[in-house]
């Protein structure tokens, strides 16, 4: 029994300060990403979320070059990018793709410039890997209060916009005809999205932030019938995947003879992806039971269509 | 110009006066005037591209008219107008049950999160009962058939107790029978819920049994009144700008282009091929 325990939780796991900081930061970030992610998936703005990840990458590498905490750049430029995307037409479906693509391209260009300058100045090594693919074990405990404060901002924005977000997801025309403040609702959502992508850039890297944003949400939406339960499930999946990823990354140090730990971001993303695949199997099977008793025969259960 | 609005004995819940709309240089609506009385069932009839959707958007305040005015009933919380748009894409992935969508009709436009309340769920249940949609209250809206989604959207629009309900081509994507069910449901709701119904359609026949009045749109201009007043050869000929015949066949109305069927032929108000 003890052997199994030490095999799962390799020695020093709970004593390690970087692991504890990573568990707290990763957990908080996973919750924010999951909540925002559910609305991102429902609104069909996954591509926008990904583009904001690239904007965050530019911000993070710029901040590193300027000698600032990357988190400042991740979130700062992310919010600016969200503002630009909103301005150049993120509210129209057709304009949205274009705006997103243009902003994404510009952001990657900026990242290339900043990371080149950073590398040639020779101040730090491994900056590209840290910005793009993250390294949650390098987060210091002094960052935790900032992470929590930013998380509170993002969650508050979603909570305030909750009902109008759902109504505009159903139909912007109905929402506008009811006198909903559609523009303000969209802006609040973009703020939450920018902050949560910035935070997950810190946890799993700017490029992989999409995985933490979309993965748990997409999995949860397969398994639940209401928005509230989808949010709860996405949080559990996000936090679980993050912690399991951290555990696996820590353990990986002991796997080979060479004692080289593998990147934590890889494990987190791998667990999320495995969960998504698994949910496809889970959702396909009990569909008949989850269907309401008198549902019309013509209607195919959602899960079947998703799995198809 | 509009046919004289006959006996306006009831109070009016909608007044459209001299409304014109041009979009990017094209005249969509020209001097459209009509009124809808409380609890009346009005059909907004016209061929595709006649400006029906634009007119509904003007009434909803989603589109500003170039000239003219629109008056709709208001409460402190905004216009007391319910709306069922033509295209609402309810994806089967959307984690929303029929009753969740109806509940959004109560206060979905307000900020903040909804708190679970007995009164809300009771109101939702009653509304779903009123539109005969209780049976699929717990089904995902994306999994319902077109007619069922239509009922849920009507419940969503009516739960805030509007005085006027606008529906944009609700019959367009329904089979004949579902369409008839929706029409008779709307006629019943107009009486039960004391709501005036303004429904756009390109076919007049499904509405004949229930319609109190008709607003006929063609070429951006409108004629309004009772069916007998409006759907007449001389009125429609003026509206279309070319000769039009109105035929009555077994209680159904066919609007057909006159003597020389040319490029102006319009059969949209009644399909001669349809067997009723």
pLDDT of residue B97: 94
Structure tokens at B119: 């009164």
pLDDT of residue A93: 63
pLDDT of residue A89: 64
Above pLDDT 70, what percent of chain B? 89
Instruction: Single out the residue of B9, B42, B38, B43 nearest to residue B163, CA to CA.
Output: B38
List chain A domain ranges. Answer: 2-287+302-307
A152 and B CB contact within 8 Å? no
Q: Spell out the residues 6+ positions from residue B178 whose beta carbon is closer than 8 angstroms to its own.
A: B145, B146, B147, B150
CA dihedral sign of residues B52, B55, B61, B65:
positive
Strands of the B12-23 sheet, one edge to the other: B26-37, B12-23, B67-71
Q: How buried is residue A97: exposed, middle or buried, by Cβ count under 10 Å (0-12/13-18/19+)? A: middle
State yes or no: pLDDT of B266 exceeds 60: no
pLDDT of residue A4: 74
Beta carbons of A163 and B142 less than 8 Å apart? no
Beta carbons of A162 and B114 less than 8 Å apart? yes
pLDDT of residue A84: 84
For residue A167, which residues of chain B lie inside 8 Å, CB to CB? 104, 108-109
Beta carbons of A295 and B136 less than 8 Å apart? yes
State yes or no: pLDDT of A157 exceeds 60: yes
Structure tokens at A109: 């260009």
Q: How buried is residue A290: exposed, middle or buried, by Cβ count under 10 Å (0-12/13-18/19+)? A: middle
B104 and A CB contact within 8 Å? yes
State yes or no: pLDDT of A178 exceeds 50: yes
Instruction: Single out the residue of B121, B131, B241, B230 nearest to residue B181, CA to CA.
Output: B131
The rounded distance, in Å, linking the Cα atoms of B107 and B205 is 36
Instruction: Single out the residue of A35, A32, A24 nearest to residue A243, CA to CA.
Output: A24
Q: For chain A, give the mean pLDDT.
A: 84
Residue-wise pLDDT tens digits, A29-82: 999 999 999 999 999 888 889 999 999 999 998 998 888 888 999 999 999 988
Q: For chain B, give the mean pLDDT.
A: 86
Taken in order of first residue, the domains within chain B and their CATH numbers are: 1-80+161-226 (3.40.50.300), 90-157 (no CATH)
Poorest-pLDDT segment among A96-110, A230-244, B54-68, B118-132? A96-110
A307 and B CB contact within 8 Å? no
Give me the residues of A, 95-134, that contact B with CB < 8 A: none
Strands B81-84 and B164-167: parallel
Would the pTM count as exceeding 0.80? yes
Beta carbons of B77 and A179 less than 8 Å apart? yes
The rounded distance, in Å, linking the Cα atoms of B174 and B193 is 24
Q: Where are the alpha helices (DSSP H) in chain A?
A: 2-8, 17-42, 46-65, 70-87, 93-121, 127-133, 144-170, 172-177, 182-204, 209-223, 227-252, 264-284, 287-290, 302-307
Contact status, residue A25 vs residue A202, Cβ threshold 8 Å? yes
More reliable by pLDDT, B171 or A89: B171
> By three-state DSSP, how is residue A259 classified?
coil
The rounded distance, in Å, linking the Cα atoms of B11 and B15 is 11
Q: Which of B97, B104, B144 shows the shortest C-beta gap to A170?
A: B104
pLDDT of residue B122: 93
Give me the residues of B, 145-164, that contact A with CB < 8 A: 145, 148, 156-157, 160
Region A2-287+302-307: CATH code: 1.10.3470.10
């Amino acid at each position: 029994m003890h052997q199994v325990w030490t095999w799962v939780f390799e020695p020093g796991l709970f004593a390690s300060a970087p692991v504890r900081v990573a568990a707290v930061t990763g957990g908080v970030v996973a919750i924010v990403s999951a909540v925002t992610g559910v609305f991102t998936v429902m609104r069909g703005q996954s591509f926008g979320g990904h583009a904001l990840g690239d904007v965050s990458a530019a911000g993070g590498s710029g901040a590193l070059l300027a000698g600032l905490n990357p988190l400042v750049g991740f979130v700062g430029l992310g919010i600016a990018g969200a503002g630009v995307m909103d301005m150049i037409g993120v509210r129209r479906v057709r304009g949205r793709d274009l705006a997103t693509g243009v902003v994404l391209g510009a952001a990657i260009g900026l990242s290339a410039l900043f990371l080149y300058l950073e590398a040639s100045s020779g101040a730090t090594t491994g900056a590209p890997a840290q910005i793009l693919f993250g390294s949650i074990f390098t987060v210091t405990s002094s960052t935790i209060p900032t992470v929590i404060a930013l998380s509170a901002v993002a969650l508050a924005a979603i909570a305030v916009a909750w009902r109008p977000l759902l109504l505009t997801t159903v139909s912007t025309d109905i929402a506008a005809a009811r006198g909903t403040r559609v523009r303000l609702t969209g802006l609040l959502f973009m703020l939450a999205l920018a902050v949560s992508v910035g935070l997950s850039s810190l946890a799993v890297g700017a490029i992989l932030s999409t995985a933490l944003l979309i993965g748990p949400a997409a999995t949860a939406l397969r398994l639940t019938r209401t928005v509230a339960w989808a949010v709860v499930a996405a949080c559990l999946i996000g936090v679980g995947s993050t912690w399991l990823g951290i555990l696996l990354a820590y353990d990986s140090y002991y796997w080979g003879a060479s004692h080289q730990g593998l990147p934590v971001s890889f494990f987190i993303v791998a667990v999320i992806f495995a969960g998504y695949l698994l949910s496809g199997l889970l959702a396909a099977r009990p569909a008949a039971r989850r269907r309401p008793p008198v549902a019309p025969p013509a209607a195919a259960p959602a899960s079947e269509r998703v799995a198809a | 110009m509009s046919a004289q609005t006959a006996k306006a004995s009831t109070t009016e819940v909608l007044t459209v006066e001299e409304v014109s709309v041009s979009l990017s240089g094209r005249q969509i609506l020209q001097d459209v005037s009509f009124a809808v009385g409380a609890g009346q069932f009005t059909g907004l009839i016209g061929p595709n591209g006649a400006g029906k959707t634009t007119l509904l958007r003007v009434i909803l305040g989603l589109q500003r008219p170039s000239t003219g005015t629109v008056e709709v009933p208001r409460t402190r919380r905004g216009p007391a107008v319910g709306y069922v748009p033509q295209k609402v894409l309810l994806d089967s992935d959307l984690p929303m049950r029929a009753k969740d969508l109806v509940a959004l009709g109560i206060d979905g436009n307000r900020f903040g999160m909804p708190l679970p309340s007995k009164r809300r769920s009771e109101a939702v249940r009653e509304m779903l009962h009123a539109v005969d949609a209780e049976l699929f209250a717990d089904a995902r809206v994306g999994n319902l058939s077109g007619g069922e989604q239509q009922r849920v959207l009507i419940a969503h629009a009516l739960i805030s107790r509007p005085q006027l309900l606008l529906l944009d081509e609700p019959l367009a994507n329904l089979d004949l029978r579902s369409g008839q069910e929706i029409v008779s449901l709307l006629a019943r709701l107009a009486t039960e819920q004391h709501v005036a119904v303004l429904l756009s359609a390109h076919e007049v026949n499904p509405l004949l049994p229930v319609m109190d009045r008709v607003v006929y749109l063609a070429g951006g201009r409108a004629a309004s009144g009772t069916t007998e007043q409006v759907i007449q050869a001389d009125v429609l000929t003026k509206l279309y700008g070319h000769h039009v015949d109105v035929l009555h066949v077994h209680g159904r109305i066919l609007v057909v282009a006159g003597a020389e069927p040319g490029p102006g032929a319009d059969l949209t108000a009644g399909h001669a091929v349809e067997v009723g």
